[in-house]
């Protein structure tokens, strides 16, 4: 034969068919083994748009981020659980002031005045010294109030102030404190106002909690009245301070869920006063906020809760931000 084969034509055809069949079987077996390999899910390779194994591990069964891997204190984390009165501001409450872009307060100066001082109680004679607030003379400072359980207003104000400072600094603001628990007492109310004036603050806020009777609940913001007497002249700050107070009240309600005071302000959450040296002597827009009533058990439960204090700090931060950027 011309091809040199010794097999008849029909046997050569059968041999060729057997070789082709063997190749088909081998290819099919290889594909099945790859389909069943440990890296697969039993349904073949992921289709376009499906998450691969790494992405799937980071999501829950419903495809939403599970939040795992966040450290305590980060947004979405549990926080450190700062105990009432430690002033650490350590518990983020799972909330870090979302909604305002970083840098929105760049170039702005905010003065925060944490009401009273934890050490005032040891300096009764010094804080009783009268100072001129323009239309009268009042004591340098007071000890502030406390809850029935002994959580001091001065500890509360420092904690909330420190939390607000962190959030404001994240927005790019320069934050100045009147005191940070680093003074033996005070400062006196006239010096508290002077600190804001010297800093040429774009906004100033004094943080407090009230000491009214049980059943009196809610927060209120204190606005400066028009006072022109002696060293006091609030004529240029009354209007901008009201705008600051209104924005602060609105944001505080939204952040904390608290209602405006049911005993001051006629349900508006705003109160105008002419007897506070920190307002009378201010030359920059300034308000006070009484975050709740420490003598009411329901309000006290909020004020002593670290997560609620973080919400209060966020409401304060957003109110100041609205005022400064609006």
Residue 176 sits in a domain whose CATH number is 3.40.630.40
Whether 1 is in a domain gets the answer no
Give the mean model confidence (pLDDT) for residues 42-60: 32
Q: Which domain holds residue 302?
A: 109-325
Whether 120 is in a domain gets the answer yes
Does 246 participate in catalysis according to the annotation?
Answer: no
- CA dist., res. 98 & res. 96, Å (int): 6
pLDDT level of residue 103 (50, 70, 90 thresholds): confident
Whether 306 is in a domain gets the answer yes
pLDDT level of residue 33 (50, 70, 90 thresholds): very low
Whether 300 is in a domain gets the answer yes
Determine the distance from the C-alpha atom of residue 30 to the mean position of all C-alpha atoms in its chain, rounded to a whole number: 58
Question: How does the average pLDDT of the chain come out, rounded?
Answer: 79
Whether 22 is in a domain gets the answer no
Q: Which of 207, 311, 220 is nearest to 260 (CA)?
A: 220
Count of structural domains, the chain: 1
Q: What is the torsional sign of CA 224, 228, 229, 232?
A: positive
The tokens describing 252, both together, are 């505080």
Whether 224 is in a domain gets the answer yes
CA-based Rg of the chain, rounded to a whole angstrom? 34
Whether 77 is in a domain gets the answer no
* Statement: residue 149 has pLDDT above 80: yes
Whether 101 is in a domain gets the answer no
The residue annotated as part of the active site, out of 153, 191, 246, 290, is 290
Give the mean model confidence (pLDDT) for residues 143-159: 98
């Amino acid at each position: 034969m011309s091809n040199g084969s010794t097999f008849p034509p029909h046997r050569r055809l059968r041999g060729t068919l057997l070789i082709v069949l063997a190749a088909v079987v081998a290819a099919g077996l290889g594909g099945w083994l790859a389909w069943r390999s440990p890296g697969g899910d039993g349904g073949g390779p992921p289709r376009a748009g499906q998450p691969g194994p790494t992405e799937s591990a980071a999501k829950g069964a419903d495809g939403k981020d599970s939040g795992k891997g966040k450290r305590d204190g980060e947004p979405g984390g549990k926080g450190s659980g700062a105990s009432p009165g430690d002033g650490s501001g350590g518990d983020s409450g799972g909330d870090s002031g979302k909604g305002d872009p970083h840098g929105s307060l760049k170039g702005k100066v905010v003065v925060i005045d944490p009401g009273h001082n934890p050490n005032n109680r040891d300096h009764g004679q010094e804080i009783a010294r009268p100072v001129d607030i323009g239309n009268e003379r009042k004591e340098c400072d007071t000890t502030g109030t406390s809850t029935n359980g002994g959580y001091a207003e001065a500890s509360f104000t420092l904690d909330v102030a420190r939390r607000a400072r962190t959030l404001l600094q994240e927005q790019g603001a320069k934050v100045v404190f009147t005191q940070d628990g680093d003074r033996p007492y005070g400062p006196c109310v006239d010096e508290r106002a002077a600190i804001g004036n010297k800093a040429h603050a774009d906004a100033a806020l004094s943080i407090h909690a009230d000491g009214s009777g049980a059943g009196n609940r809610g927060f209120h913001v204190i606005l400066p009245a028009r006072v022109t007497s002696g060293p006091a002249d609030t004529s240029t700050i009354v209007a901008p301070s009201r705008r600051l107070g209104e924005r602060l009240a609105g944001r505080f309600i939204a952040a904390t869920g608290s209602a405006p005071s049911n005993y001051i302000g006629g349900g508006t959450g705003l109160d105008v006063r002419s007897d506070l040296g920190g307002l009378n002597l201010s030359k920059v827009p300034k308000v006070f906020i009484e975050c709740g009533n420490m003598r009411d058990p329901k309000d006290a439960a909020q004020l002593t809760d670290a997560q609620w204090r973080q919400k209060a700090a966020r409401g304060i931060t957003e109110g100041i931000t609205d005022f400064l950027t609006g």
